[in-house]
C-alpha cells in the first residue's frame, strides 16, 4: 500500500468519525426542536366552547399583529389583551353560527366577493412582481422628459434634484401600461359571448 493510499484511508476514517460525532450532537438537538414545534401545535392555550386555541395559533396571531403594527410591543399585557380579543371574536362567531348567519345567501355572496377580490389582488401582485423585474427607465428617457418639462423655463430645479421623481413616475407609467396590455391580451384570448338582447 502506498503512502498516499494510507493517508487517504486515515483521512477518510477521521472524516467519518467527525461526521458521526456531528450527527450524534445535532440529531438530538434537531429532534428536540421538532418536538417543541409539534408541542406548540397541540398545546391548548384556551378553550372557548368547542373551539380550541392552540399555542401555535396564538403565536401566529402575535406575529401577524407585530407585522401589521410597528408600535406593537409583545408584553404580558399585550398578550393578555390579544387573547381576550380572540375569545370575544370566537364567542361572536359561534353565536352567529348558532343563528345560521353563516349560511345566509347575503353572507355567502359577501364571502364570494371577498374571495374573488383577494384572488384578483393576488394575481395582480404576482404579475406586478414579474413586471417589476423587467421594468427600467434609461438615463436618456429621464433626460428627454426633463428637457420636455423645462422647455426653456429657467426657474426649474436641476435634473439631479428631480431625477428620482421622474424615474419613479416613468417606471409607474410603464408598469401600468404593461399590466393593462397583459389584461387586454388575456381578454383577447378569452372566449366571450354576450347576448345583446338581454343587455
Quick: pLDDT tens for 152-162: 777 788 888 88
Q: How far apart are CA 36 and CA 30, in angstroms?
A: 10
Q: How far apart are CA 46 and CA 168, in angstroms?
A: 49
| Residue 71 and residue 127 share a domain | no
Residue 113 located in a structural domain: no
Structural domain including 131 reads: 121-150+160-187
| Residue 172 and residue 129 share a domain | yes
pLDDT 10s digits, 67-112? 887 787 888 898 899 999 999 999 999 999 999 888 888 888 999 9
How far from 153 is each of 140, 142, 144, 145, 148, CA to CA, in Å? 20, 17, 15, 14, 10
| Residue 102 and residue 66 share a domain | yes
Question: Strand (E) positions, 35-149?
Answer: 44-48, 51-54
pLDDT 10s digits, 10-30? 555 555 555 555 555 555 555
Number of alpha carbons in the 13 Å side-chain half-sphere of residue 199: 4
Number of domains, the chain: 2
- Has residue 66 got a pLDDT over 80? no
| Residue 68 and residue 43 share a domain | yes
| Residue 127 and residue 92 share a domain | no
Residue 114 located in a structural domain: no
Residue 103 located in a structural domain: yes
163-174: average pLDDT: 91
33-39: average pLDDT: 51
| Residue 129 and residue 99 share a domain | no
| Residue 182 and residue 145 share a domain | yes
Tell me which residue of 135, 142, 115 sits closest to 182, measured CA to CA.
135
Residue 25 located in a structural domain: no
| Residue 140 and residue 102 share a domain | no
pTM: 0.52
| DSSP tag of 101 | G
| Residue 136 and residue 87 share a domain | no
Please, what sign has the CA dihedral across residues 11, 14, 18, 23?
positive
Residue 57 located in a structural domain: yes
| Residue 141 and residue 92 share a domain | no
Tell me which residue of 4, 97, 13, 3 sits closest to 48, measured CA to CA.
97
* The pLDDT of residue 34: 47
| Residue 60 and residue 94 share a domain | yes
Q: How far apart are CA 151 and CA 154, in angstroms?
A: 9
Residue 30 located in a structural domain: no
Please, is 79 exposed, middle or buried when counting C-beta atoms within 10 Å of its C-beta (0-12, 13-18, 19+)? middle
Residue 91 located in a structural domain: yes
- Has residue 127 got a pLDDT over 80? yes
| DSSP tag of 74 | -
Amino acid at each position: 500500500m502506498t503512502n498516499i493510499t494510507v493517508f487517504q484511508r486515515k483521512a477518510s476514517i477521521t472524516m467519518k468519525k467527525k461526521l458521526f460525532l456531528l450527527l450524534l450532537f445535532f440529531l438530538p438537538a434537531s429532534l428536540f426542536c421538532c418536538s417543541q414545534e409539534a408541542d406548540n401545535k397541540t398545546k391548548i392555550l384556551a378553550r372557548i366552547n368547542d373551539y380550541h386555541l392552540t399555542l401555535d395559533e396564538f403565536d401566529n396571531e402575535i406575529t401577524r399583529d407585530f407585522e401589521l403594527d410597528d408600535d406593537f410591543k409583545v408584553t404580558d399585557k399585550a398578550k393578555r389583551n390579544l387573547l381576550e380579543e380572540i375569545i370575544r371574536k370566537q364567542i361572536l362567531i359561534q353565536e352567529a353560527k348558532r343563528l345560521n348567519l353563516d349560511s345566509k345567501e347575503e353572507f355567502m355572496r359577501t364571502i364570494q366577493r371577498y374571495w374573488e377580490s383577494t384572488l384578483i389582488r393576488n394575481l395582480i401582485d404576482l404579475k406586478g412582481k414579474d413586471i417589476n423585474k423587467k421594468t427600467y427607465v434609461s438615463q436618456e428617457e429621464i433626460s428627454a422628459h426633463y428637457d420636455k418639462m423645462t422647455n426653456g423655463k429657467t426657474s426649474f430645479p436641476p435634473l439631479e434634484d428631480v431625477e428620482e421623481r421622474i424615474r419613479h413616475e416613468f417606471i409607474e407609467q410603464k408598469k401600468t401600461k404593461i399590466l393593462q396590455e397583459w389584461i387586454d391580451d388575456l381578454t383577447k384570448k378569452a372566449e366571450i359571448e354576450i347576448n345583446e338582447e338581454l343587455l
